[in-house]
């Protein structure tokens, strides 16, 4: 059954674009952009611990591919654990396929066989693959040596956790894109009370965006304390 295509902005949130990813390794964004538009034949494997932005980049590459007029699809492998073969059926027809979260299906022999077969089908079709995982292929605990060998042939991009300066840059940039005014004291308060990972920062900003709009309030420290449920005495 064909699934109706959603508008680009609904499939891939505007915040999740290559140009909005901050702190990427040198040349990484250029590699991903080239993969998205079909300018290179090398496939890529993105590794990084939780919250380093692997999903952001996987979605961003799909968005960039579609903006270039190519057919792209994103698949979170964790949602397909135990039935990866079924989830991958027919996806090789897309110009670019992003498979996010290899670590979540590693060790399941049937899923690994399905991934190996799919890898070969995509190669035969002349299309492109992007993989992500928390560890490099050799650290995933794969039970299928042939799959480990195929993954080892991909180009690699390693993501690192955000530094303090990087967290501040992400918060400021994303607040500005939402039209939120985040002054120095409010920014400093948030940085001491949010997780280091990208997902935590984005979740907090999403909540503040909704609450400030509903309350018609600026993002002051008292407002942040009220919204995030922290008492004055804990500052």
The reported pLDDT for the residue numbered 30 is 96
Tell which of 133, 158, 183 closes a domain. 158
Residues 171 and 112 in one domain: no
CA atoms within 13 A on the CB side of 71: 8
Residues 53 and 74 in one domain: yes
Residues 130 and 96 in one domain: yes
Tell which of 158, 192, 207 closes a domain. 158
The reported pLDDT for the residue numbered 3 is 43
Of residues 72, 43, 56, the one with CA closest to residue 17: 56
Q: What is the domain extent for residue 78?
A: 8-158
Interatomic CA distance for residues 4 and 143, integer angstroms? 36
Interatomic CA distance for residues 175 and 225, integer angstroms? 17
Angle at 94 between CA 89 and CA 99, to 5 degrees: 65
The reported pLDDT for the residue numbered 230 is 54
Q: Is residue 2 part of a domain?
A: no
Q: Could you tell me the pTM of the whole model?
A: 0.82
Is residue 115 within 8 Å of residue 83, measured between CB atoms?
A: no
Angle at 200 between CA 193 and CA 44, to 5 degrees: 140
Interatomic CA distance for residues 115 and 99, integer angstroms? 10
Which CATH number covers residue 136? 3.40.50.300
Residues 52 and 122 in one domain: yes
Q: Is residue 1 part of a domain?
A: no
Residues 98 and 113 in one domain: yes
The reported pLDDT for the residue numbered 205 is 83
178-205: b or e for each residue (b if 16 or more CB lie within 10 Å)? eebebeeebbebbeeebebbbeebbebb
> In terms of residues, how long is the chain?
235
Non-local CB neighbours of 69 within 8 Å, separated by 6+ positions: none
Non-local CB neighbours of 184 within 8 Å, separated by 6+ positions: none
Residues 22 and 113 in one domain: yes
Number of domains composing the chain: 2
Residues 122 and 86 in one domain: yes
Residues 86 and 202 in one domain: no
Q: Is residue 3 part of a domain?
A: no
Tell which of 158, 192, 223 closes a domain. 158
Interatomic CA distance for residues 210 and 107, integer angstroms? 41
Is residue 43 within 8 Å of residue 129, measured between CB atoms?
A: yes
The reported pLDDT for the residue numbered 8 is 52
Chunked in runs of 10, what are the mean pLDDT values of the chain (235 residues)?
45 83 90 96 94 93 96 95 96 97 97 98 97 96 96 96 83 83 86 76 84 86 83 40
Which CATH number covers residue 205? 1.10.8
């Amino acid at each position: 059954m064909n699934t109706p295509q959603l508008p680009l902005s609904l499939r891939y949130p505007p915040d999740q674009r290559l140009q909005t990813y901050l702190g990427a390794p040198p040349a990484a964004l250029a590699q991903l952009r080239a993969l998205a538009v079909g300018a290179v034949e090398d496939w890529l494997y993105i590794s990084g611990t939780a919250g380093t932005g692997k999903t952001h980049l996987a979605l961003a590459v799909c968005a960039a591919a579609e903006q270039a007029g190519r057919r792209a699809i994103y698949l979170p492998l964790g949602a397909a654990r135990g039935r990866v073969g079924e989830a991958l059926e027919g996806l090789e027809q897309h110009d670019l396929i992003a498979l996010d979260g290899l670590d979540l299906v590693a060790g399941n022999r049937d899923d690994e066989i399905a991934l190996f077969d799919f890898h070969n089908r995509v190669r035969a079709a002349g299309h492109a693959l992007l993989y992500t995982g928390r560890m490099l292929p050799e650290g995933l605990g794969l039970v299928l040596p042939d799959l480990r060998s195929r993954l080892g042939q991909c180009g690699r991009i390693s993501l690192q956790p955000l530094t303090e300066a990087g967290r501040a840059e992400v918060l400021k940039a994303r607040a500005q894109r939402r039209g939120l005014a985040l002054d120095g004291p409010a920014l400093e308060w948030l940085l001491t009370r949010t997780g280091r990972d990208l997902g935590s920062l984005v979740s907090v900003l999403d909540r503040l965006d909704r609450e400030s709009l509903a309350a018609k309030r600026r993002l002051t420290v008292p407002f942040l304390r009220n919204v995030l449920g922290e008492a004055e005495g804990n500052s």
